[in-house]
A and B are shown apart, each in its own frame.
Chain A
Amino acid sequence: MIDLNIPWPVSGPNAASPSDRAKISSAKASILFLQELGYKAVALNCIYQGKIPATLKCPVPDEIHKEFPDIRIYTRVTIVAEDLNHSFNLPNLYQQFDIVAIRPMSEKMLQAACTNLDVDIVSMDMTRRLPCIPKHKTIGAATERGVKIEVVYAPGLSSDPLARKTSIANNSLVVRAARCRGLVISSESLSSLSLRGPFDIMNLSYIWGLNSARAREAVSKNPEAVIRNGLLRKKSYKQVVIAEPEEVREPLRKKQKV
């Protein structure tokens, strides 16, 4: 059970401002709460608008893995992309983050993201009207390539009826366009108040039109594939060979014994 979207504050030059610190502590509380709900892995999501500087560094500190020994933590970047001509410096992002996602804001961008760009996740902004009605041809191209489509549930849990309606409408559209395949369900929740248990989410996705087998895939198998793909790209040579220090390989060896 994996949640690939816990927003992590992206600070500009004035790092560690009080509001950022509050956001970090609430993100950490969210991780602990997810752990209690039975999740095994989370990804911390850093969202950037538009152009990506070439020297971007991952804002998530390395110590975070030690701080949470009971849950696997990955880093993820989401590029909010409006213009195809912007350079996103993807090779740099591959080095800095485990998972690379894109949030297209126009139909052209969605088309490009699904067919060309080498990313792991295509994520749409579910809080607003979608830029276009997603077509099966576009989304299907993404699923064919192994790029997963993200569906987000936290905005649908707000008390505002309009936000709920928009979220349900958008999620159903995406689920329909994807024909239930190649989806990942994640939270995108700013506080631990709108996180839910994995089985509750599987059931919740029923109202978007997912059947239970596909829903289960969308919280377990598919996000796992995203993580594996991301790690292979980051650490391996041509996705074939991995050279790693001894201690990282430890779990693998255990598995062989069993």
Chain B
Amino acid sequence: MVRLKSRYLLFQIVYPTDTLSTSEDAKTRFLKIHRTSDASVVNARNLTQIFKDEMEELHGDLGAGSIMTTLNVKYFSPVTSTGIVRVGRQFLREFWAALTNITDIDNTPVVINVVHVSATIKKCEIAAIERNQQIVRYLQRGGLAVKEEKVDMSDEE
């Protein structure tokens, strides 16, 4: 008997707006998009239901049934709007596509951005912590760090 393999997705809920403008500095813009979530609406239990519904909408009964037993939102932090969700390995692609297709939660437009995929929850946790540290450093510098990084990238190309 082969053991049940699963994948853990580190995802982030971002809130797109049409009110971004170049007159604000990078930090303000960043905080506008990466808002904290309303914990009464966006929490682990509701997200599980939302993901299941979306899976059913995109892939029908077959899709919804195939992830029903494995899908589980392991962790969600409303403060940083990031979370970890577990799904059976076979259905990773289908499930990820469903996440991408989510356009709103409770009529608030959202974009779900998958940041990291791994086979153990521990690696996901490490990735989440590292990412948060990066973001904090970025904000402390007032949104300057990313600019330097981008120059480097364009040189490499």
Given contacts A197-B114, A224-B157, contact A28 B21 (CB under 8 A): yes
Residue of B nearest to A69 (CB): B147
Q: Do B97 and A25 touch across chains, with their CB atoms under 8 A apart?
A: no
Q: Do A251 and B154 touch across chains, with their CB atoms under 8 A apart?
A: yes
Kindly state whether residue A191 has any CB partner on chain B within 8 Å: yes
Kindly state whether residue B65 has any CB partner on chain A within 8 Å: no
Given contacts A40-B150, A157-B101, A224-B157, contact A29 B17 (CB under 8 A): yes
Q: Do B20 and A206 touch across chains, with their CB atoms under 8 A apart?
A: no
Given contacts A224-B157, A258-B155, contact A29 B20 (CB under 8 A): yes
Considering only CB atoms and an 8 Å cut-off, how many residues of chain A contact the other chain? 39
**How large, as a class, is the contact surface on chain B?**
20 to 34
**CB proximity to B under 8 Å, residues A244-258:** 251, 254-255, 258
Number of A-B contacts (CB under 8 A): 93
**Neighbouring A residues of B80 by C-beta, 8 Å:** none
Give the contacting residue for A195; candidates B57, B93, B111, B155; CB below 8 A. B111
Q: Do A33 and B103 touch across chains, with their CB atoms under 8 A apart?
A: no
**CB proximity to B under 8 Å, residues A157-211:** 157-159, 161, 164, 191-197, 199-201, 203-204, 206-207
Kindly state whether residue B142 has any CB partner on chain A within 8 Å: no
CA distance A67 to B20 in the complex (A): 13
20 other A-B residue contacts (CB within 8 Å) besides A37-B113, A157-B101 = A25-B18, A25-B21, A28-B20, A32-B21, A36-B30, A36-B33, A37-B14, A40-B157, A70-B146, A72-B154, A157-B103, A164-B58, A193-B111, A195-B111, A196-B113, A200-B96, A203-B114, A204-B101, A207-B94, A224-B157
